[in-house]
Structure 1
Amino acid sequence: MDQLLDQIRSCNICEKELPLGPRPVVQASAKSKLLIIGQAPGSRVHKSGIPWDDPSGDRLREWLRLDKETFYDANKIAIVPMGFCYPGKGRSGDNPPRPECAPTWHERLLNEMPSIQLTLLIGQYAQRYYLKEVKALAGYKTLTERIKNADKAPDHFFPLPHPSPRNQIWLKKNPWFEKETLPLLHSRLATHKF
């Protein structure tokens, strides 16, 4: 695992496409039990090198009811984004994760983490990549539909919206998320010992 993490952290496959250059951000251990797959680091995370080291991370930890000590314990929680490096700014927020990362690294990483019990799929990119062949959710094409039907997801997957402050409008439009989905998430988390 250490050798693989070193390879990922020194990856420069898409260096020419990255406005701030490569700085892959990942947290994983062979002992990790919870896997968080998000989109890609933002500029603050690029600067610090610490995953979810921003207001989105604060909200995510609040949703998960986890303190920072637990959240950043790689022996408990793996954090593997769809794109490991900051992809730059787009018209309405950050650009999508670079498409090279997941096909290049995810399967190899997952093979090194046999103890994963639950995978949180945060945002549309992670959900599209990992749920494309999950029959229970095949009929749900939008992020909102997938999250509203999280109870139909296989026990090892749980779809979530991105916890970005930019998602305030989505959260206000979908009050069922806090009333129904978060309690379901807490129930799933409680069945595992993280």
Structure 2
Amino acid sequence: MKQVDNLRDLIHHCEICKDHLEPRPIIQFSSKARLLLIGQAPGLKVHQTGIPFNDPSGDRLRQWLGLDKDTFYNPEHIAIMPMGLCYPGKGKTGDLPPRPECAPQWHQPVLDLMPNIGMTLLIGQYAQNYYLQDKPKTLTETVKQWQQWAPRYIPLPHPSPRNAIWLKKNPWFESDVVPYIRQYVHQHLAIKDQV
């Protein structure tokens, strides 16, 4: 589709934040995609490889979805559009937040070309704050109330290994939310269970 190719080309040449970081936009989308993942921003490894969720966070996310890498990286199945498309750099306690210019610039034009998205996974607080109206203040309370927005939006904790303690304290997430997402993914992507 010409419009998708044109927009992808524009995004890959974006330098809106060049005064703040080294531009290398990371995005995956197609007009046929049925599931959208909106995370925070690429980490250093993703920035270096140009492959979204190419890290331990991605391994856990694929496990939650019950998907192998071939399906996960097929843009005709899954779109991946972070809040900040480029690696924001290191802060004192981890990566810096996503740049604020990015989502207002690119999200709606990409969404307009993906009419088949039935579920959007909002990974972490930045995506949840941007897309969810009247949400609770904490990520835990937001994720607990996931049914309020399902199936259109599903708020998720970040799948980072740093969140292992959160997952241990909140076993309901992997027993209730993950199976719901996995069922949607496998019904709408027409794939066999791969876990």
TM range (shorter): over 0.9
Residue of structure 1 equivalent to 2:193: none
Task: Name the amino acid aligned to 1:121.
Answer: L
Match of 1:189 in 2: 185
What do residues 118-170 of structure 1 show as CA deviations (whole Å, max 9, x unaligned)?
111100000110002xxxxx252211111111122142111111001111121
Q: Give the Cα–Cα distance (whole angstroms) in 2 for the partners of residues 104 and 55 of structure 1.
A: 29
How many residues were matched structurally? Answer: 187
**Amino acid in structure 1 at the alignment position of 2:92:** R
Contact map agreement 1:38 1:81 (CA 8 A) in 2? yes
TM-fit CA distance, 1:105:
0.4
Which residue identity lines up with residue 8 of structure 1 in the other structure?
Answer: I
Query: Within 5 A, what are the aligned runs for 1:24-173?
Result: 24-132=25-133, 138-173=134-169
Q: TM-score, normalised to structure 2's length?
A: 0.92
Q: Alignment identity in percent? A: 59
Deviation at 1:189, TM superposition (A): 2.7
Distance (whole Å) between structure 2 residues aligned to residue 167 and residue 139 of structure 1: 21
**Where in structure 1 do 4 or more consecutive aligned residues deviate above 4 Å?**
none
Q: Which moved more, 1:111-120 or 1:179-188?
A: 179-188
Structure 2 alignment gaps of length 5 or more: 191-195
Q: Secondary structure at the match of 1:126?
A: helix
Q: Which amino acid aligns with 1:104?
A: Q
Question: Residues 70-107 of structure 1, C-alpha deviation per residue, up to 9 Å, x if partnerless?
Answer: 00000111000000000011122111101011000000
Cα RMSD (Å): 1.2
TM-score (norm 1): 0.92
